[in-house]
Amino acid sequence: MTAEKKSAVEQRLDNGIYGTPQIKPDEQRRYLGTFRERVCLTISVAELHEQSWVAALAAEFKRGYGRLVFLNGNLPHEEIRPYVRAAAQAGANFTMKTDPEFKTDPRSLAVVVAAKEAVYQSPVDVKKRYPQLASSGPATKAATKNKQHGGFFHRLFHREGQ
């Protein structure tokens, strides 16, 4: 029997037995409970582990579209704390999503910035939206660390003019 032909009582019984039907459940799981057309920015778990994207989050808030932040609460609190702080400082609403359906594998999303209505932003991936903020990865961090140490030893053991 189709939904149009079911009585209100039958629909209510079905909802009680099977749960309320969801629109695009796979999309909602992917984007931490919201729809793709509302998403302004996403940060994956892998991207979260590569570097801090707090500056990108702040830039996104300045754009003024997305004021809702969904955080994957199944990640360690230390990893998402800076994003909670940034959202609170910007006056954005944030929600921690801790349902088991929100995974923590590298391809899953850790942070989603969304609007209340559809905004149809593209691209939404943080590396594509803010490429100027992306570091080139761990090799760059190691090179920077070595330069800092080289500078220290250079000043320590070398006099000016040598």
Question: pLDDT tens for residues 98-152?
Answer: 999 999 999 999 999 999 999 999 999 999 999 999 885 443 333 334 444 444 5
Q: Which domains does the chain have, with CATH numbers?
A: 22-133 (3.30.1330.30)
The pair phi, psi for residue 113, each rounded to 5°, is -105, 130
Peptide bond into 25 cis (omega under 30): no
Q: What is the mean pLDDT of the chain?
A: 82
13-22, 74-83, 111-120, 132-141, range with the lowest pLDDT: 132-141
Please list, in sequence order, all residues whose beta carbon lies within 8 angstroms of the beta carbon of residue 49, skipping any fewer than 6 positions away.
79, 106
| Helical residues (DSSP H) of the chain, grouped into ranges | 8-18, 25-30, 45-50, 54-63, 77-90, 126-129, 138-157
Q: Contact 121/95 with Cβ under 8 angstroms?
A: no
Cα end-to-end distance, the chain, whole Å: 90
